[in-house]
Chains A and B, each alone.
Chain A
Amino acid sequence: MKNVVTHRKFQRYSALAISPLSIWIVYSIICMKGSSFQETYNWFSNPFNAFFMAAFFIISFLHLKLGLQIIIEDYVHNLKHRSLTILSINIACYIFAGIAIFSILTMLF
C-alpha cells in the first residue's frame, strides 16, 4: 500500500475488525482448554467457527503487514533494504495466510 492515507485507514479498520474477533478467540481458548484432537477438529469443522477463524487470519495478516511496514519505514533507512524487507514481509504474510485458509478449508470439508 503506497498511499499513506489508505494505509492508515486500513490499519484502523483492520484493528476495529480484529478486536471483537480476538475477544472471541481468547474466549474460545478458555472453553477449549484440555480438549482432545477430535474435539478441536470438530470445533474447526463448524462453519461458523471456520468462517470467523478465516476472517481473523486474513484481517490479522493485513494488520500485521501494515504495522510492520511502518516499523520498517521508521528504522530501516537504506531505501533498497527497506523495500526488500517490506516485500519479503508481504510475501511471507500471503504464504502464511494461504496456509491458514488451506488448513481451515481442509477441516471444513
Chain B
Amino acid sequence: MDTIENKTNKRPLSPHLQIYKPQITSILSIFHRFTGVFLAFGLLLSVIFVFFTAMGEETYKWWNCIVNSLVGKGLFFLWLLAIIFHALNGVRYFLWDNDIGMSIPSVKWSGLFVCVLTLVLTCVLGILIWM
C-alpha cells in the first residue's frame, strides 16, 4: 500500500487479513473487533434512549415505537449477541494476558466454548426478554 508511513520507514502493515488462512483464533479476533464496532453504535443508541426518556413522555413513546418494530427487535437481538460474544471473548483475552490457556489446543477449545456459550446465552436471554 502506498502511504506516507510505508514510504518513510518501509515497515510491513499489521493485519494481513487477505493472506491469513481462516482459523478459529483469527476468525474470533476479527469478530471481536467487528462486534466492538457494532456495540459502539449500540452505545450511541442507548444514549439517545436515555436522552429521550429524560426529555419526556412524548419522545419516549416515539422511541418505544421504533424499538418495538421488527427492525428494532432484530437489531436488539444482534446487540445481545454482540455484547455476550464481546464479553465472553474478552474474558478469554484477559486470561491470555495472565498467561492462562495459551497452548494451541486450549486456545482452540476456549474459542469453540465461547461460540457455543454465546449462542446458548443469546437464545436463553432472548427468550427471557420476549416471552
Residues of A within 8 A of B (CB): 12, 15-16, 19, 22, 26, 29-30, 33, 37, 40-41, 44, 53, 57, 60-61, 64, 67-68, 71, 74-75, 77-80, 96-97, 99-100, 102-104, 106-107
Contact = CB atoms under 8 A, between A and B. Distances in A.
Contact of B3 (A33, A67, A77): A77
B50 interface: yes
A79 B83 CA distance: 31
A85 B70 CA distance: 33
By secondary structure, the A interface counts as helix
Nearest to B60: A37
Q: Which of B47, B83, B94 has most chain A Cβ within 10 Å?
A: B47
Contacts of A79: 4-5
A31 to B, nearest CB: 10
A22 B94 CA distance: 17
Given A100-B50, A100-B51, A33 B90 contact: no
Given A19-B90, A26-B80, A60-B43, A71 B37 contact: yes
Given A26-B80, A26-B83, A96 B44 contact: yes
Given A22-B87, A96-B44, A99-B47, 19 more contacts: A12-B97, A15-B94, A16-B94, A19-B90, A19-B91, A22-B83, A37-B53, A37-B60, A40-B60, A53-B50, A57-B43, A64-B39, A67-B36, A71-B33, A77-B4, A78-B5, A79-B4, A100-B50, A103-B55
